[in-house]
Structure 1
Amino acid sequence: MTRDHDAPATRPSFRSDGLSVGVGFPLTGVNDSRPSISRELALAEHAEEVGFDALWARDVPLYWPKFGDAGQTFDTWPWLATVAARTDEIALGTASVVLPIRHPIHVAKSAATVDRLSDGRLVLGVATGDRDPEYDAFDVDPESRGELFRESVRWLRTLWSEPFPELDGPWGRLDGRLDLRPKPAGEIPLFPTGHARQELSWIGAHGDGWLFYHLPEETLDSFLSDWRDVGGDKPYLMALQAELAADPTADPEPIHQGYRAGIEWFREYFGRLEAAGVDHVIVGISGREPEAGLTAFADGVLAYR
């Protein structure tokens, strides 16, 4: 890549004039074993080339077969650093870092490092997690998830913004003698995912946006209305599974967290999402060979934004 690393990229905000669209790893669709590194990176480059706005990596420390998938299997931080070296301007996101089982100093340093290596392209989805055995593995009381989440957000904000901070909490104490290095290239947006065991008013006050899951359109309208009441014009992000039918005119069929449909229906659907006020969609594309699926979605949906 030829990017000038002395000229930082514009911080992704997902608050442009229109709907932006990202795609989630693993791009090869391999979700229960290690995907091909070279293939994933080539597809990441292709996603940027055809016009996707973001690449999203999930945080799955341990594989739980009962849950059904292992994410992209590689640890979030070295993986995004590797992707940063192979791309130029596309945003790099986490969907989402499970804060209650992570020490906030480790999260703050890893995120700041990736942000510096990517010239300010990192956006951080954060969550409380949904894989029950992980809490036992990390010796975390699942009933404390909500409180730990709030505390972690406070620590992250402070560690990134204040020199030699003073902090006291469940993970330890900083008394002003130590500092986090590096600091991020700029303010890293934090997007709480789902309800994160918080009141929506807390998410609106402390998050830089809200990341939620696929919802039926009538339910989505009410969620967006509630979000605008507490979050104002902060962005609303959503995840969606999109299985592309061979027939471009095929009507939609519900699948887990999304639809199977023809590309013409997806074009109309994304138009409705934009009109409703959705700011960013993280799409998982299946139904075709991965590169062909990315290209078809870009040509059939992104080109019409």
Structure 2
Amino acid sequence: MKEFQSHNGFARTFKENKLTLGISFSTEAANGSPWSLNVTEQVTLAKQAESLGFSSLFVRDSPLYDPNFGDNGVMYDPFLLLTYISAHTEEIALGTASVVTTLRHPLHVAKSAASLDDMSKQRFLFGVATGDRKIEFPAFKVEREERAELFRESISIMRKVWKEAFPQIQSKRVGLTEGDVIPKPLLNTIPILGTGFSGQTIEWLAENTDGWMFYGQEAFRQQELIERWREASGRFKPFTQPLVINLSKNPMAAPYPIPVKVGFTSGHKFLIDYLYALQNIGVNHVILVLENRDRPIAEVIQELGEYVVPHFLALTT
């Protein structure tokens, strides 16, 4: 996409007909603790991932901790965590997967996103979503049934305030008649990655976002979805998916599924073959979600960096 050729995060991460690798943060301790490592340890791991050639680092947005949801979400606010990490890294793209736009005011989100993009020297990849934790909507006094509409509103407003000086906006949540939102992104826009369908049609997403993040699923279903996305987009807009992996110490270990989650335990040999298969069906970027609880995370990242990442390098000469 021409408008993002000079956006460092987008250019580093997304290549047409090529798969690259990212990693999901915050990572959890190897002793089975449900909580993530502290921020100093996270920064150390982020610098390690960057040095090994991972193209991106993505964090989730969990406004509330819900002990009944099935996972703990993340401890830190995504904008704050990524800003802190950006100060300790140089090149790795920094993404959200994904900010719950329905629960945040669009002007606040636009300012936070533009600030992070500026501070990180255009490394921010802005994943957005409607949210799926039911307890959050009443807590924030947001009607869950309106989340698709609020999602569209957020994207429209952010695009406008990033591009225009002193825009006039009247919408469900915004009555902007005076003042302006600063800073403006260097490119007057930021790469927006939709997540799932977010209550929209694939055609709407193709027209109004710069890339699509979808959940992992059976290969034939994913291929069909990617083909629909390519047809609706009309030009290259990257397709991203997560992959939960519990990396075995045995590099030749055969795969077996991780219960409930779309992912598997295997050695790195199978993982490489699996990622090539995803590349062949059109996946452009995979965010690895490390499920290891029996190995130090630094050890797992090191093995991935030495044996897996070289097959899917983000930067080409």
Fold similarity call, TM over 0.5:
yes
Find the counterpart in structure 1 of residue 139 from structure 2: 137
Residues 65-93 of structure 1: CA distance to partner in whole angstroms, max 9, x if unpaired?
Answer: 01133333111111111000000010000
Q: 2: distance between equivalents of 1:214 and 1:52?
A: 20
Q: 2: distance between equivalents of 1:109 and 1:70?
A: 27
Find the counterpart in structure 1 of residue 8 from structure 2: 10
Displacement after TM superposition at 1:31 (Å): 7.5
Q: 1: distance between equivalents of 2:19 and 2:36?
A: 32
Kindly indicate whether the alpha-carbon contact (under 8 Å) linking 1:25 and 1:71 is maintained by their aligned counterparts in 2.
no
Kindly indicate whether the alpha-carbon contact (under 8 Å) linking 1:238 and 1:281 is maintained by their aligned counterparts in 2.
yes
Question: 1:295 pairs with 297, 302, 312, which one?
Answer: 302
The answer to which structure, 1 or 2, has the higher relative contact order (CA under 8 A, 6+ apart) is 2
Name the SS of the counterpart of 2:199 in structure 1. Answer: coil
Letter of the structure 1 residue corresponding to residue 19 of structure 2: L
Kindly indicate whether the alpha-carbon contact (under 8 Å) linking 2:9 and 2:94 is maintained by their aligned counterparts in 1.
no
Gaps of 5+ in 2: 1-5, 313-317
Q: 1: distance between equivalents of 2:184 and 2:20?
A: 27
Q: 2: distance between equivalents of 1:215 and 1:78?
A: 31
Q: 1: distance between equivalents of 2:307 and 2:239?
A: 23
Find the counterpart in structure 2 of residue 23 from structure 1: 23
Kindly indicate whether the alpha-carbon contact (under 8 Å) linking 2:26 and 2:36 is maintained by their aligned counterparts in 1.
no
Letter of the structure 2 residue corresponding to residue 140 of structure 1: V
Name the SS of the counterpart of 2:204 in structure 1. Answer: helix
Displacement after TM superposition at 1:248 (Å): 1.3
Distance of aligned partners of 1:156 and 1:32 in 2 relative to their CA distance in 1, 3 Å threshold: farther
CA RMSD of aligned residues (A): 1.6
Q: So what's the TM-score if we normalise by structure 2?
A: 0.90
Distance of aligned partners of 1:31 and 1:154 in 2 relative to their CA distance in 1, 3 Å threshold: farther
Residues 207-263 of structure 1: CA distance to partner in whole angstroms, max 9, x if unpaired?
Answer: 101101111112111111111111232100101101112221122112212111111
Distance of aligned partners of 1:11 and 1:50 in 2 relative to their CA distance in 1, 3 Å threshold: closer
Residues 169-202 of structure 1: CA distance to partner in whole angstroms, max 9, x if unpaired?
Answer: 1112112x31111112322111110110111111
Q: How does 1:38-49 map to 2 (within 5 A)?
A: 38-49=40-51
Give % identity. 37
Letter of the structure 2 residue corresponding to residue 303 of structure 1: P
Find the counterpart in structure 2 of residue 274 from structure 1: 279
Name the SS of the counterpart of 1:130 in structure 2. Answer: coil
Find the counterpart in structure 2 of residue 183 from structure 1: 184
Find the counterpart in structure 1 of residue 254 from structure 2: 251
Gaps of 5+ in 1: 1-7
Find the counterpart in structure 2 of residue 203 from structure 1: 205
Q: 2: distance between equivalents of 1:51 and 1:126?
A: 25
